[in-house]
Amino acid sequence: MTVGAAARTARGTPLVRRPVIDARDVRISYGSHEALRGVDLSVVEGEIVAILGPNGAGKSSLIEILEGFRRRDAGSVSVLGEDPARAGTDWRARVGVVLQSSEPERHLTVEQCLRLYAGYYPKPRPVPEMLEALGLTARAGVRGGQLSGGERRRLDVALALIGDPQLLFLDEPTTGFDPSARRAAWETIAALRDLGTTVVLTTHHMEEAERLADRIFVLVAGRIVAGGPPDTLGGRDAAPAEISFELASAAASVELPFERGRVLERDSGRVRIESTSPLDDVELLARWARERDVRVEDLSVRRPTLEDLYLELTEGAR
């Protein structure tokens, strides 16, 4: 199954799913700096949620609170039905964590690493199953120090999954990957849905978040400023489009068929207009050009991207 197909299946199937994470009014300060200022977050089973935000936004603090590695100052948190600050080893076995950077056991083979970590859990997944799921079967006998960066990252995920967690935290899972390795990792993460695993992902890659996440939350200066499905986050689906095109030099000054207030740019032959109905406006432009024998080149229609929205939401925080 491709990443896109997996995402469409998950997003297109209305299911009643149990909450995995329920955080309300979470706050934490370091001295006079308030890192989290009343964060609310909910995640249900079987979904992939991405948390975006600039450096210093509070992402690490929030994730560490959810993982049980840091105590909050205020607010309530329930993860898999328990407060992470007081949860025991049984709860810990149900949670997997993939750190932004880690180093495999250099002198153990991939299979030996997995068998070692499997021994830490009461009901681990079968090692051969994990090797196959993460595309590591052919590398099972290779020592950790001989793995490529992409292979090490797949081993990181396999080690986090060997205990059969219900919830997996992924911190910048494809940092330093080349494009091919990154896309292979996306396939792996998307396939976690088939294993019934809920995923919370932090990333600086907008395409990664858009391709993988069922929902995205943007954290800025300790507050969540937007949340929802990638396609509709922050009203992206209702935002005006931009139509741009090039006019031949002979027509550079001719009157356009659009209201002046909609013309965002007109520099020599280059024109950009704002459009709330792109199809109608492209048809109008084509009819106008034919009637006046004007050549229109390099025509494009563009709606705001996730990166556009992210930059708008985080303006001043970078």
In this predicted model, what pLDDT tens digit does every residue of 13-68 receive, in sequence order? Answer: 445 678 999 999 999 999 999 999 999 999 999 999 999 999 999 999 999 999 99
Instruction: Give residues with Cβ within 8 angstroms of 302, minimum separation 6.
Output: 241, 242, 243, 244
What span, in angstroms and rounded, lies between the C-alpha atoms of 213 and 189? Answer: 10
7 vs 309, more confident? 309
CB 209 within 8 A of CB 198: no
Is residue 9 over pLDDT 50?
no
7 vs 138, more confident? 138
Any idea what the Cα angle at residue 213 is, between residues 211 and 215, rounded to 5°?
135
In CATH terms, the superfamily for domain 3-231 is P-loop containing nucleotide triphosphate hydrolases (3.40.50.300)
Burial 57-81 (b: 16+ CB within 10 A, else e): bbbbbbbbbbbbebebeebebbbbe
Listed by start position, the domains of the chain span: 3-231, 240-302
> What is the average pLDDT across 149-166?
86
Q: What is the DSSP string of 130-174?
A: HHHHTT-GGGTTSBGGG--HHHHHHHHHHHHHTT--SEEEEESTT
In this predicted model, what pLDDT tens digit does every residue of 194-251 receive, in sequence order? Answer: 778 899 999 999 999 999 999 999 999 999 999 999 988 988 878 889 999 998 876 7
What span, in angstroms and rounded, lies between the C-alpha atoms of 149 and 143? Answer: 13
pLDDT score recorded for residue 269: 84
Share of the chain above pLDDT 70, in %: 93
In this predicted model, what pLDDT tens digit does every residue of 235-278 receive, in sequence order? Answer: 887 888 999 999 887 676 788 999 888 989 888 788 999 998 99
